[in-house]
Every structure is written in C-alpha cells, then in structure tokens.
Structure 1
Amino acid sequence: MITAEQRELAESERAWLGKHDPIDHLRSQSGRAGSPEGLASVDPRALTHVRESGLASILTADAGGTHPDLAVLTAEHGRAASSLPVADLALGAWLLEFAGRADLADAHASGDRVVTVVTSPYGQSLHGDRIAASAHLSSSCRTRLIAISWC
C-alpha cells in the first residue's frame, strides 16, 4: 500500500521528470559523434538532481527513507524511460553506510564520487578505466557480498 507521503514523493519526481524529459536527452545523444550506438547516457541534469535532492542517499539512516520509497522513485523513473540508475545509486549509498564507509557514502551523496552496485563471480575482480570491483564471501553469513565500484 502506498502512503500519502509516497504519493507526494512520486508526484514530485514525476513533475521533475516532466520538466527534464529523459527521452529528449536520449534523442539528443542518438547518432552523436563518439556516442556508442545503442548505449544510453545519463543526463547530467539528472545527476545534479540526484545530488541536490538527496535521492542517492534515500536509504541511509540520516535520510530515513525506506525500500518502498525507493520503489516509488524507481517506478517514476521507469515510467519516464529515465536512464538514471536510481535504485543502484541508492543501494550503493546504503551499502557504503552498512559497511561503515561513511566517508565514501558522503562523497557519493555530494556527487564527488558516483557509486553503483555491481556483481562479480566469487573471488574475481573487475577492473577498467573507471571501475574497480571484487566479490568476497562473508564467512559469517555465507553469502556473496555485492561489490561496489566508483568512477
């Protein structure tokens, strides 16, 4: 059941998306020199919005948001065909906070570092120009931890 507060959150995000149409951004990127065909890019205005609105840190203790709040936001971005990975950004901040890395969570929320969630087979690492991640097995809960990367 969606609460009145979540409805307001959805309406607010829908209004922002209406003013900053993600489809217009995607169309402007299509066929642009140096733009790989078929790959979506994230609108810089959307990244600014995430930073200024605090959406990336919605699941942190300071923000007090819930997973249903994040689901409402994700649904609005999906409805608008936004390329912004809202859930990945929010989960990245939540995982950093959970891991005790408030320094990185703060840098993520301020936009100094963009953190997202990636997975990798256990014991393997991913490396690239702007990404570094690895997966580890937690001995206490016997599950694979999600790797975190930043660029």
Structure 2
Amino acid sequence: MGFPHPLLPLLLLLPTPLLARDPASVQSLAAMPEYTSQPPCATGCFYQREGACSNDLVGATLGCAADCISWASNDCYCRTDYQSLATAYLSSCVSKACTKGENKVDIAAATSLYGAYCRKAGYTPPPEPTATGDETAQSVATVYVTVTAIFSLVYFA
C-alpha cells in the first residue's frame, strides 16, 4: 500500500517540532509511547489510579497538583528548578516499587522518560553538576514527609 501523496514520506523525515509552551496546558506524559513500555511498578510512581480517577503523583510531589481534577500544568511540572526534585522522587519511588529484576534499569527508564517529556514540551533541563578540583559534585534531593496523627483517648472510670 502506497502513500496518498508521493511527498508524504518526506514529511515524515522532518524533525518533530517542539510543543508550544502553553502555560495553561496540563501535563500529558502518559500519552508518550515510551510511557506504555514502562513496567507497572514504574508507572505507579507517575499516576495512582483510584476508580475513575487518576492522581498525578509527580505533580503532587512538586506541589503542582492536588488531586485527579487538578493535574499539574506543564509550567509547574517541568520547571527547571523542580526537575531535580521530580527525578529524585521518581528514583526513590521506582527503587522501592520495582523489586524484581534489575531496578536500576527501571529507574533510568522512568527518570529518562520524565526528562524527555519536559524537553519535548520545550523546557530546559537543569544544568549538570560540575566537578571542582579532585572532588565530584553530586546532587542529592531529600524529600521529608511529616505525618501528624491527632487523636484523643478518653477514659471514664
């Protein structure tokens, strides 16, 4: 079966343009073909399904999304200063969730997917750490979660 127009195959060779940076556009990482090749343990770090609702976990980690009806905008999801935090979250989550096989591969694939999504959406990746002298600079993000349980115990004698 041939193409409807003889020049159509040449159009397919042109580079894909970057998506327009629309500040109001909502992140759509799950629409990338590479997302479907991620193992379920890794995709569970991007989104959490609850019935008809799918929560944006990366967006929530960054403080960009509250629940399934307010997914993160690309301007928040891919902010240059947030990308290291998102990558650290994904590394930690996938490391804990993907326990079968070589999880380093799953971690690399998940963090690479996030970075590729932001680059395709037109956002600049954070600068690579630079080495000073004989030391190697490392970037580490630590995420702390504080859970406060409030309860009261009433005892009547």
Determine which structure has the larger helix proportion and give its number: 1
By the TM > 0.5 criterion, same fold? no
Larger relative contact order, structure 1 or 2 (CA cutoff 8 Å, min sep 6): 2
TM-score with structure 2 length normalisation?
Answer: 0.30
Determine which structure has the larger strand proportion and give its number: 1
